[in-house]
Structure 1
Amino acid sequence: MSFDSTLAGLGINRYGSAAAAPAPTTQAAAQSMDQGDFLRLMTAQMKNQDPFDPVDNTQMVAQMAQFSSLAGISEMNTTLKSIQDRLNTSDPNAALNWIGRTVLTEGATAYPRTGGGIEGGIELDGAAAGVTVTIQGANGETLRTVDLGAQPKGTINYDWDGTTDSGEAAGAGPFTVKVSARNAEGGVVGARNLVWAPVTSVALGSDGKPILTLPGVGQVPITAVRKIG
């Protein structure tokens, strides 16, 4: 879009007289304007104003404030995109930064903390009248059943102290965690168990994004990570 047509779209003639009929402004043309266009239009507006009826200062300040807000949002989006690209980068050196980190992801096998017990989460597809967490040993025996009661839709957290239903130490694991949830009518509510696991190695997938190797969980893409410890 030329500068003359931009001025015409605002009803401003480049040589000082008002245009007879403002030209329609299309969405594509509006999207093509940048900060430089805005400053040129403001300058043209001031040059072509009627000295006996100058542009209202309040309106001009409001226009500048609106443009400043839009420019700030644009810069923020650019920064966020840069951060996302950095996290998803195919740079092997950047991928190595994942090693040694602890991540929260979907899984059924959990290793206890140094002091015993495990911390995890549950993703619920809907509100549940009752949520139960069952901890099983290496042979499939039930070590502990934890009743979390009614829970809202979303992600909830739980913390098991590492003892069995009889109060004895459950051991060093690993443990199998199963979760179940039901609504007020007794129907099943979709639920997924989330476990914390350390990243032991990283590989680059065919799309160039890191694939994390987690003990007890296996290989997961970084898009499956819910939180980073």
Structure 2
Amino acid sequence: MSLINSYSQSLPQASSSTSNTSAVTKSSVQSTTTTTTGNPFLDSIRLPEESATPEANDQMLKQEDFFALLSQQLSMQDPFEPVDNDQMIAQMASFSTVDGISNLNDEILNLNTVMSSSQALQASGLVGRKVLVPSDTGAISTESPNINGVISTPSAMDTITVSVEDQSGQVIKTFSVDGSDGGNVDVSWDGLDKNGAPVEEGLYSIKASGKVDGEAQELAVSTYAHVSSVSLGTTATGAILNLRGVGGIKLTDVLAVSET
């Protein structure tokens, strides 16, 4: 009698343990089926499961990170050899200096942007006027049938020989100007060739030469050009003046501004 009762009482325990085992087995089978198929070949060619890519963190240390490191350093220091106050103050001062320099760089970049915009606004007042640029090449067009320029001389000279060349280097006309005053000598070409006929529209170069201490020497020539528009440019170049028929030039390269 006691044997039957003990056996009947042990049945629920056995069934519960069996159900727990089956539950564990089922859950393990389900978890296994989510990762493998049981076939080594199929498992080897399965696509890898997608893994979430963590977002990139900012690698720059900020002031909060510095104080966190400082607090950790103070908490882990040897109580018998604590960090010297001077060292801690020096560390804080160094970090403040670096942080201040970083903020100063940002402010300088903003200031450069503002200055570039302001410079372009001021340069817009040159649109429609002529500026003197350090180039011996000028443009002949219907709006500008002549080329004016300036010849720079190291000293006074009796005669300055001027020759006008086209883009191929062929001499179109030759004439002389007085250089007895020395310094900057004005020169003007009326856009006519040696036969008195108007030349075609295009770019022409003015070459000048004279005798310096008895020896022939090439002289620097600058020409006037018409400003058609202004470009904003960059912080490195500044405002760009777009010259009719010539191209762009930096505002800082302008030598003089003409009334017309």
Q: TM-score, structure 2 length as denominator?
A: 0.46
Name the CA shift for 1:203/1:154 in 2 (closer, same or farther; >3 Å). farther
Counterpart contact for 1:107–1:217, Cα < 8 Å: no
- Partner AA of 1:109 in structure 2: T
Please list, as runs of the form range in 1=range in 2, the aligned pairs for 1:34-113 lying within 5 A after superposition: 90-91=117-118, 92-112=120-140
2:231 aligned with 1:202, yes or no? yes
One-letter identity of the residue aligned with 2:163: T
Letter in 2 for 1:103: V
Over 3 Å counting, the alpha-carbon distance change for 1:115 and 1:187 in structure 2 is closer
Q: How does 1:122-141 map to 2 (within 5 A)?
A: 122-141=151-170
Q: Residues 145-169 of structure 1, C-alpha deviation per residue, up to 9 Å, x if partnerless?
A: 1111443331111122222112222
Are 1:117 and 2:146 counterparts? yes
Aligned match of 1:76: none
1:221 matches 2:250: yes
Post-superposition offset of 1:95: 3.4
Whole-angstrom CA distance in 2 between matches of 1:128 and 1:203:
42
Number of aligned positions between the proteins: 141
| Distance change (3 Å), C-alpha of 1:227 and 1:183 | same
Provide the rounded CA distance (Å) in 2 between the counterparts of 1:151 and 1:220. Answer: 32
The Cα shift of 1:110 comes to: 0.9
C-alpha separation in 2, matches of 1:120 and 1:178: 11
Local SS of the residue matching 1:162: coil
Secondary structure of 1:111 counterpart: strand
Contact 2:237–2:250 under 8 Å retained in 1: no
Aligned-partner Cα distance in 1 for 2:155–2:232 = 35
1:169-227 CA-partner distances (Å, limit 9, x unpaired): 22223212222222251242x62211111223333443574232324544333232222
> Match of 2:184?
155
| Seq. identity, % | 23
Decide whether the 8 Å contact of 1:90 with 1:208 is kept in 2: no
- What is the CA-CA distance between 1:104 and the residue it aligns to? 1.1
> Is the CA contact (8 Å cut-off) linking 2:131 and 2:254 kept in structure 1?
yes
| Structure 1 residues 128 and 90: CA distance shift in structure 2, 3 A | farther
> In 2, Cα distance between the equivalents of 1:119 and 1:178?
13
Shift in CA distance, 90/127, structure 1 to aligned 2, threshold 3 Å: farther
User: Gaps spanning 5+ residues in structure 1: where?
Assistant: 1-87
Tell me how far apart the structure 1 counterparts of residues 231 and 255 of structure 2 sit (CA, whole Å).
Answer: 17
Cα deviation for residue 89 of structure 1 reads: 6.5
Determine which structure has more spread, i.e. the larger CA radius of gyration: 2
Q: Which amino acid aligns with 2:146?
A: G
Change (3 A) 1:204 1:151: farther
Is 1:166 aligned to residue 195 of structure 2? Answer: yes
